[in-house]
Amino acid sequence: MQFQTRIGKSTEDNIQVHGYDLAEELIGNITLADMAFLGAKHRIPTENESKMLNAILVAICEHGFTPSSLSTRLTYLGAPEAVQAAVAAGLLGAGTVYFGAMEYVAEMLQKAYAEYGDERSTEELASTIIKDRKEKGLQLPGLGHHIHKVVDPRTGKLFQIAEETGFLGKHSLLLLEMHRQFCESKGKKITLNVVGAIGAIMSDMGMDYRIVKSFAVASRAVGLVAHLVEDMERGRKDSIAQQVFKYVEDNTDYRG
């Protein structure tokens, strides 16, 4: 039996990654985000691709106290010998509610163009998608936010960078038009959130919708490190995790 891979191979004095010499061509020359791009597209990103992807990963790296970060802290409280388990727990708790919608947005937009091509105008296609999802009882992913009720400050910035780098393409314009039409139909401003913007922009970067969320997972792993460090610096007794655990313990009424 023989296996084949294009990802990596090591010899006694050389390491090859995606066809590049790791030590001579990659280390010190590309960013971690560039490395993620390389894994997804099998080539080093252009300067604009690097700028756009780095901006996206920075935008979703940190969200404060969420189920994801609390999972990390609480897992570390119970298993301080395994920081990898704490980070893994946080990633397992980072689901559709907090950033998974980027995959659904990308899927929605990419499938729309796969089905209708460029036959319809952006306005017509936006209207078709909204109507179709309404008839099927499906929500529009990428809209709404529990804190940023009108404007998500990250969304505008990412679209600005997308325009500067040449990635404000048909998928982004379609989502923006859908947002406009949806707000008009509701008679009020609904937030176009950052994960919606990311799903559209990454579609314009040529990323398959099935891997879009994986970039968010990589970014979140970096953000979770800060939550671990903060509880480490506080010490077990004064850690956020210990306070949460104690609060729940002291304020739970057991009824058998």
In this prediction, residue 47 carries a pLDDT of 98
Evaluate whether 38 touches 31 at the Cβ level (below 8 Å): no
Cβ neighbours of residue 71 closer than 8 Å, sequence gap 6 or more: 89, 90, 92, 93
Residue 92 pLDDT > 70: yes
Does residue 105 sit within a domain? yes
In this prediction, residue 252 carries a pLDDT of 95
117 lies in the same domain as 34: no
Is the pTM here over 0.85, yes or no?
yes
In this prediction, residue 149 carries a pLDDT of 77
Phi, psi of 5 (to 5 degrees): -150, 150
For the chain, count helices (H), then strands (E): 11, 3
| 170-184 pLDDT, tens digit each | 999 999 999 999 999
CATH assignment at residue 189: 1.10.230.10
122 lies in the same domain as 184: yes
| Domain span holding position 5 | 1-47
| 11-61 pLDDT, tens digit each | 999 999 999 999 999 999 999 999 999 999 999 999 999 999 999 999 999
Confidence of residue 99 (pLDDT cuts 50, 70, 90): low
Mean pLDDT of 241-251: 96
Residue 96 pLDDT > 80: no
Does residue 224 sit within a domain? no
115 lies in the same domain as 37: no
**Percent of the chain residues past pLDDT 90, beyond the cut:** 85
| 128-168 pLDDT, tens digit each | 999 999 999 998 998 977 777 778 999 999 999 999 999 99
106 lies in the same domain as 203: yes
Q: Helix, strand, coil proportions of the chain in percent (round to 5)?
A: 65, 5, 30
User: Computed over its alpha carbons, how large is the radius of gyration of the chain?
Assistant: 21
Evaluate whether 18 touches 42 at the Cβ level (below 8 Å): yes
In angstroms, the CA 180 to CA 178 distance is 5
Evaluate whether 57 touches 102 at the Cβ level (below 8 Å): no
CA-closest candidate to residue 64, choices 213, 247, 220: 220
Q: Is 16 exposed, middle or buried (0-12, 13-18, 19+ CB in 10 A)?
A: middle
105 lies in the same domain as 196: yes
Residue 72 pLDDT > 80: yes
CB atoms near residue 244 (< 10 Å) = 15
Evaluate whether 130 touches 178 at the Cβ level (below 8 Å): yes
Give the distance from CA 219 to its chain's centroid: 7
Residue 230 pLDDT > 90: yes
* Torsion angle of C-alpha atoms 23, 29, 34, 39, degrees rounded to 10: -20
In this prediction, residue 48 carries a pLDDT of 98
The residue out of 10, 30, 47 marking a domain boundary is 47
Cβ neighbours of residue 231 closer than 8 Å, sequence gap 6 or more: 73, 76, 77, 239, 240, 241
Bridge partners for 21 per DSSP: 16
Average pLDDT over all residues of the chain: 93
- Paired tokens of 230: 């903060």
In this prediction, residue 147 carries a pLDDT of 75
